[in-house]
Amino acid sequence: GESVGLHLPTLSVQEGDNSIINCAYSNSASDYFIWYKQESGKGPQFIIDIRSNMDKRQGQRVTVLLNKTVKHLSLQIAATQPGDSAVYFCAEMNYGGATNKLIFGTGTLLAVQP
């Protein structure tokens, strides 16, 4: 069946270091992927997305990498700051498919140590 899972439930990094959060997906038909950040007491916040015709996409301090061969997605955060502490979710969709629902992973807690 469809599933999106994260390799590491918790990631602890030092302030200023780079962070890498990983995600595996199993649905070969998925062709649109999104990373969300959820801070305590808030709803998930869109960070960056990528479509399957790309391998890499960069935003402000964030980069998403997509490896369709091994069905792997990663989020890289440069110069991690205390404000980056949150739970990060990956989500997948079959863009233009029968349904526009997103399938979310379980989330990774990023803890930034000062």
Partner 1 sequence: ETGVTQTPRHLVMGMTNKKSLKCEQHLGHNAMYWYKQSAKKPLELMFVYNFKEQTENNSVPSRFSPECPNSSHLFLHLHTLQPEDSALYLCASSQVYNEQFFGPGTRLTVL
- Which one of 8, 20, 46, 55 is in contact with partner 1 (CB under 8 A)? 46
x/- mask, partner 1, residues 70-89, rule CB under 8 A, reads -------------------x
Q: Least CB distance from residue 14 to partner 1, whole Å?
A: 26
- DSSP assignment letter at 1: -
Instruction: Out of 1, 43, 83, 114, point to the residue binding partner 1 (CB under 8 A).
Output: 43
CB 68 within 8 A of CB 5: no
Q: How far apart are CA 112 and CA 91, in angstroms?
A: 23
CB of residue 105 to partner 1, shortest distance in Å? 6
For the sheet with 62-67, list strands across it.
4-5, 19-25, 72-77, 62-67, 56-58
Exposure on the CB side of residue 13, measured as CA atoms within 13 A: 23
Which one among 1, 83, 96, 114 touches partner 1, defined by CB under 8 A?
96
Contact 95, 83 (CB under 8 A): no
Residue 53 binding partner 1, by CB under 8 A: no
Residue 62 touching partner 1 (CB under 8 A)? no
What residue ranges bind partner 1 (CB under 8 A)? 4, 32, 34, 36, 41-46, 49, 89, 93, 95-96, 99-102, 104-107
